[in-house]
Structure 1
Amino acid sequence: MKEQLLQKIKDRTAIVGVVGLGYVGLPLAVEKAKAGYKTIGFDIQDQKVDMVNRGQNYIGDIIDGELQQVVASGKLSATKDFSFISKVDCVAICVPTPLDRYYQPDISYVENSTKDIAKYLHKGMLIVLESTTYPGTTEKVIKPILEETGLKDGRDFYLAFSPERVDPGNKLYNTKNTPKVVGGTTPDSTQVAAELYRSVLEGEVFEVSSPAVAEMEKILENTFRNINIALANEMAIICNKMGIDVWEVIEAAKTKPYGFMAFYPGPGVGGHCIPIDPYYLTWKVREYDYHTRLIEIAGEINNYMPEYVVERSMKILNQYRKALNGAKVFVLGVAYKQDIDDIRQSPALKVIEHLEKQGAQVIYNDPYVPRFEHSNKKYTSSPITQQNLQDADLVIITTQHTSYDYEFIVEHSKVLFDTKNATRNVKQNRDKIIKL
């Protein structure tokens, strides 16, 4: 049975499925289709299914023409009908794994997707979970659901975990060339999953001994970043109190060729990974009577940064004998990182929320986010005009979009609070700039 599936993978006759057509799933589906596999994308949202079937792209990291080509060729199609799972040989689960209001993992999307797959599970099938989750999910949550069908893991089907690695807006690394980690519940499962990925991706496929190792590896990646960003943020707070430029400090530290990796402060952390994934581990290890002090403190520091930006804004306005209550504030950038349209967990949204709670009149601009809704309030992007800049009592840069004309922004602002060091190359009017 294994040899038959490996042969299908080798000669590209395997039919592959991807459950969840978001930032992870759709790029993966496109790459599988480009590699020559007939690919079926599954999603519960009508709009996504319809857009894919029209060849209409909604993910920034996908080249429009590539999506159109694989759809037109018949290699990629999308559906809400999970009965088509019965036709696929391999399926990847790429659904959201958010936190609930108590910062506990919500794996309901994973569980529901697995139940949908289980209805049509058949012998010789490969199932790979890509959604980030806590160690043990693949073997203790997904495996039992699949085995309720009477089919047995390692005998009748193959099960593995391979964590998604997506960095929206990254010009160098994407789904195709980023190295992949794969851990199966059995050696055969690892082998089959690894061969599928090797046939699709250009990046190295690294095999580990179990799904739990792969699950923990993903948590480590993002916890590492979360903790180091928290250190940079705390250094920014300390340097401000001491009258030292934290950005110059980091540039100086970068000159060391070993033992230092540069991380940068900002208004907080955002996206689908860094603000969320560490809490999967802090929740899980409670079963083992351990408290993740360092991870939780890092989370507290990063979560505090939007409030800190507003506190600094108050002090900046006070220097100009202006109260934040009633002040006009122009926020530049609401995406969680530069040059993308993703606002998930964006700290800029929290900055706006805190500003408005203090009575500020807030407008924003983001060339990638023309409108959004947050806390039941709708916002529309305002243009960066000379008038809008001059009318603002304070301009705050919360996202460092490369399309911004920072010389123009600084020139026409009364005072500018730069939380991203975006104005580092501005030569004129530097007396108007206050950095984080």
Structure 2
Amino acid sequence: MDMKSFIYSAPLKGLRNQRMSQSKNKILVIGLGEIGYNNARYMTEFGLDVDGYDINAIATTKAFNDKVIKNIADNFSDYDYYVICVSTHNPRDQSIPSLNALNQVIDKLKHEAKIGALVGVDSTIPTGTTEMITEILHHRVHVVHVPHRYYNKEKDIHGVNQLRVIGGCKICCINLGKYFYEEILRIPLHTVSSSQIAELCKVTESAYRYIQIAFAEELKIVCDKAGLDFNELRNAINTKWNVQILEARDGINQHCIPKDGIMFKEFCLKYTKPQIITAAQFIDQMYRRHISPEIERRV
């Protein structure tokens, strides 16, 4: 067997032994915000050995006191699985992407991660990031991107355990990633051919949602100016089986959708001038101005 084949198949050799000692596998959830906290809770409920790490002491203390994690980690050594759930938005403006927190984690993994372990990136990341992480870590660990789809308002249905996408740079990474997420965590996976597809999948999901909301916002503006009831029109339209107009609320304020929309736009700009997402961003700003008197009245 040549070296390339050995590297690609190595993780598979130990899977049977790992199944026999599943309870001994050590998991570190990195980032204990909404996504990381609920990931850790889900794993702990399986009886798995889960530790947590976050630069925010309040987050780690809460997770520890809630018995969501077993220990608060101060270093990354001696873990079999690392699940990265750090935020990828700017702390000062959640609608703007920032990889500062992720870069700090990768630098720490570079010096402390256990050789042969799995790094699963659940955080939303721009295209090319998984490959960059693999190169920085010199493939001493296996890296996969399994973007989260957690939705807090419907966490019983769309929580940690739902169909998710997995992608990686190498076959060995995919194999170990599928073992961890599917076999240990019982999370159903849709495997794609590359990490770039997985990365673009998540940001496109959010960009598509952004466009849907913006369409509803523009329709609301038109209805208001025409003296028509937007909600009545929306309800009538939604009686058609293949149409679902969304609500028009207070603007697109969720941190994930605007941030991911920017990531999507930045990817598109490498190859073309994106029209639809740009128009949607303009419409959202126009809608915010349109409803600002109403919001002021509420206050």
The one of 159, 170, 175 aligned to 1:191: 175
Q: d(CA) in 2 for partners of 1:121 and 1:229?
A: 41
Q: d(CA) in 1 for partners of 2:144 and 2:226?
A: 51
- Report the counterpart of residue 109 of structure 2 in structure 1: 117
- Report the counterpart of residue 143 of structure 1 in structure 2: 134
Q: Is 1:45 aligned to residue 27 of structure 2? A: no
Q: d(CA) in 2 for partners of 1:48 and 1:5?
A: 34
Q: 1:200 to 1:268 in 2, by over 3 A?
A: farther
Secondary structure, aligned partner of 1:169? helix
Could you tell me which amino acid in structure 2 is paired with residue 296 of structure 1?
T
Q: 1:5 to 1:116 in 2, by over 3 A?
A: farther
In the TM superposition, what is the alpha-carbon distance from 1:200 to its structure 2 partner? 4.6
Contact 1:178 1:202 in 2 (8 A): no
Say which structure is richer in helix: 2
Contact 1:21 1:43 in 2 (8 A): yes
When Rg is computed on C-alpha atoms for both structures, the one with the higher figure is 1
Contact 2:181 2:187 in 1 (8 A): no
Q: Which whole-Å deviations, capped at 9, do the CAs of 1:18-62 have from their partners, x for residues lacking one?
A: 11001111111121222232111111111222222222xxxxxxx
Q: Which whole-Å deviations, capped at 9, do the CAs of 1:172-193 have from their partners, x for residues lacking one?
A: 4243432111111112211211
- Report the counterpart of residue 77 of structure 1 in structure 2: 71
- Report the counterpart of residue 27 of structure 1 in structure 2: 38
Q: d(CA) in 1 for partners of 2:44 and 2:166?
A: 20
Q: d(CA) in 2 for partners of 1:38 and 1:186?
A: 27
- Report the counterpart of residue 224 of structure 2 in structure 1: 240
- Quick check: 8-17 or 158-167, which moved more? 8-17
Q: d(CA) in 2 for partners of 1:310 and 1:266?
A: 12
Q: Which runs of no fewer than 5 residues in structure 1 stay unpaired?
A: 56-67, 148-152, 314-350, 356-393, 397-436
- Report the counterpart of residue 5 of structure 2 in structure 1: none
Question: Taking every aligned residue pair, what percent have the same amino acid on both sides?
Answer: 25
Contact 2:149 2:160 in 1 (8 A): no
- Report the counterpart of residue 249 of structure 1 in structure 2: 233
When normalised by structure 1's length, the TM-score is 0.62
Q: Which whole-Å deviations, capped at 9, do the CAs of 1:311-346 have from their partners, x for residues lacking one?
A: 4x3xxxxxxxxxxxxxxxxxxxxxxxxxxxxxxxxx
Q: d(CA) in 2 for partners of 1:112 and 1:19?
A: 11
Counterpart mapping for 1:36-435 below 5 A:
36-55=47-66, 68=67, 76-79=70-73, 81-82=74-75, 85-99=76-90, 105-140=97-132, 142-147=133-138, 153=139, 156-170=140-154, 172-258=156-242, 260-288=243-271, 290-311=272-293, 313=294, 351=295, 355=296, 394-395=297-298
Q: 1:263 to 1:124 in 2, by over 3 A?
A: same
Could you tell me which amino acid in structure 1 is paired with residue 278 of structure 2?
E
In the TM superposition, what is the alpha-carbon distance from 1:113 to its structure 2 partner? 0.6
Contact 2:215 2:280 in 1 (8 A): yes
Q: Which whole-Å deviations, capped at 9, do the CAs of 1:348-378 have from their partners, x for residues lacking one?
A: xxx5xxx4xxxxxxxxxxxxxxxxxxxxxxx
Q: 1:183 to 1:8 in 2, by over 3 A?
A: farther
Could you tell me which amino acid in structure 2 is paired with residue 10 of structure 1?
R
Higher relative contact order (CA 8 A, sep 6+): 2
Q: 1:274 to 1:228 in 2, by over 3 A?
A: same
In the TM superposition, what is the alpha-carbon distance from 1:4 to its structure 2 partner? 5.2
The one of 4, 11, 21 aligned to 1:2: 11
Q: d(CA) in 2 for partners of 1:104 and 1:48?
A: 22
In the TM superposition, what is the alpha-carbon distance from 1:146 to its structure 2 partner? 1.0
- Quick check: 90-99 or 218-227, which moved more? 90-99
Q: Which whole-Å deviations, capped at 9, do the CAs of 1:389-430 have from their partners, x for residues lacking one?
A: xxxxx447xxxxxxxxxxxxxxxxxxxxxxxxxxxxxxxxxx
In the TM superposition, what is the alpha-carbon distance from 1:133 to its structure 2 partner? 1.6
| Number of residue pairs matched by the alignment | 287
Give RMSD over aligned pairs: 2.2
Q: Which whole-Å deviations, capped at 9, do the CAs of 1:158-212 have from their partners, x for residues lacking one?
A: 1110101111121542434321111111122112112211135455211111111
Q: 1:87 to 1:93 in 2, by over 3 A?
A: same
Q: d(CA) in 1 for partners of 2:18 and 2:285?
A: 45
Could you tell me which amino acid in structure 2 is paired with residue 299 of structure 1?
Q
Contact 1:32 1:200 in 2 (8 A): no
Q: Which runs of no fewer than 5 residues in structure 2 stay unpaired?
A: 1-9
In the TM superposition, what is the alpha-carbon distance from 1:299 to its structure 2 partner? 1.4
Q: d(CA) in 2 for partners of 1:242 and 1:38?
A: 60
Q: Which whole-Å deviations, capped at 9, do the CAs of 1:103-131 have from their partners, x for residues lacking one?
A: 76311111111101111123211111111
Q: 1:203 to 1:144 in 2, by over 3 A?
A: closer
Secondary structure, aligned partner of 1:275? helix
